[in-house]
Amino acid sequence: MSLSHPFRETRTVDFAWHEVTGAVGDSVTVLPIVIAIAVLTELSVALMLIWFGVFQVVWGLYYGVPLSVEPMKALAALVLAGTVTTGEFLVAGLLLGGVLVLAGATRTITRIQRYIGEPVVRGVQFGVALVLLETGVGLGLEHVLLSGGVALVALLAIAGGHGRVTPILVLGVGALVAGLETGLPSPVIPGAAGLVQFGVADLTVPALEAAVGQVAMTVGNAALVTSILLADYFDRDVSPDRLAGSMGVMNLAAVPLGGLPMCHGSGGVAGKYAFGARTAGANVILGLGYVVVAIFAVELVRAFPMAVLGVLLVGIAGQMAQTAVERTDAYPFVLGVGALGLLTNLGVAFLAGALAYQVRARLESA
């Protein structure tokens, strides 16, 4: 059964079952980081989920496609490793919010794009797939018996022609395991304790360094690669500058009020597409789902087994890698940039790939 509404000329917002399964594809790129940050910092998991929910709906309806909203992974890695404090983490996100709004308004990323060939962007895309694959396998190895059983359930569903229901089945298993540990969840209204957890003292050199470290990944993966994927998957022309502006807006709005630094991301877009999302209905469903979970099932989220999420991440990685390779002729270049992203980080791979592309272009034209 499908419920569709016309939206923005010829576009519709569909609430069919495939939009529900597609919504799950984005959540698995979010939940592991949100859970880890909730455990290791003072941030409120409920407030973080509410802000993810709000902007899932806002940007899905604004752009008319199943756009992703994800954590800024480079910043998240630093706070999880203890390299920066919670306050420095949030200040870095605010600084990036201002930079991204400015970059979008001045069309800076479009100017940069002229010097970055499509193979570079495809290489970063392939690198994201490799990172997701590594993360998924790592999470699965934390509990091999559980992840193996869940993977078997997913494979049986796919073999039976029900591939799109696999995320629901997998999450259902995870929720059951978590529920056995926590018992039935009870509703809790998020309080104000998680608001404004930073101050002027958090504007430090490590905060500035963290912001700089995130910039290249945001430009490469969250703006350029996401823009290309929206065209690949949904035939939607959304410029990297518009994406930069929307990322800046949501950070300036959410970070002071309990959110964590957020961005768009190609992994979430690929996840939505892989599991069936084709309209902004997936964003509405996922956004409302985040808010419901924030109120009724926070403890269930905290106890959710990461090994289960790892199985879904492996599937998303496969979808994304396939798209990156199928849509390029520069296979060695794309694979090299992707491998560098896995071995170092995506920001380094983006910068090195862009430099190598320019050198190659100049040599070919000489």
Query: What's residue 2's pLDDT?
Result: 52
| Whole-number Å distance between alpha carbons of 124 and 220 | 7
DSSP character for 92?
A: H
Query: What's residue 40's pLDDT?
Result: 72
Letter string b/e over residues 211-220, b meaning 16 or more CB atoms within 10 A of that residue's CB: bebbbbbbbb
- CB atoms inside a 10 Å sphere around CB 87: 21
Q: Sketch the domain layout of the chain as residue ranges.
A: 11-365
Would you state the structure tokens that stand for residue 273, as one six-digit string?
Answer: 């597409």
Q: Full-prediction pTM beyond 0.85? A: no
Closest CA to 355 of 220, 222, 214: 220
Check: CB of residue 64 under 8 Å from CB of residue 11: yes
DSSP conformation letters of 93-143: HHHHHHHHHHHHHTTHHHHHHTTS-HHHHHHHHHHHHHHHHHHHHHHHHTT
Pairing of strands 70-71, 11-14: unpaired
Query: What's residue 9's pLDDT?
Result: 54
Would you state the structure tokens that stand for residue 332, as one six-digit string?
Answer: 């060695």
Closest CA to 265 of 301, 228, 315, 291: 228
Name the residue with tokens 């490590």: 206
H/E stretch holding 71 reads: strand 70-71
Closest CA to 3 of 285, 235, 230: 285
Check: CB of residue 277 under 8 Å from CB of residue 167: no
Pairing of strands 70-71, 262-263: antiparallel
Query: What's residue 1's pLDDT?
Result: 44
Each residue's pLDDT expressed in tens, for the chain with a length of 366 residues? 455 555 555 567 888 888 988 888 788 778 778 887 887 788 888 899 999 999 999 999 999 999 999 988 878 877 876 778 899 999 999 999 999 999 999 999 988 877 777 788 788 878 878 887 888 888 889 889 998 998 898 888 888 877 767 777 887 888 888 888 887 777 777 766 667 678 888 889 888 888 877 887 788 778 988 999 999 899 999 999 999 999 999 999 999 999 999 999 888 898 899 888 999 999 999 999 999 989 888 888 778 888 887 887 787 788 778 877 877 788 889 899 889 988 887 778 888 888 888 888 888 776
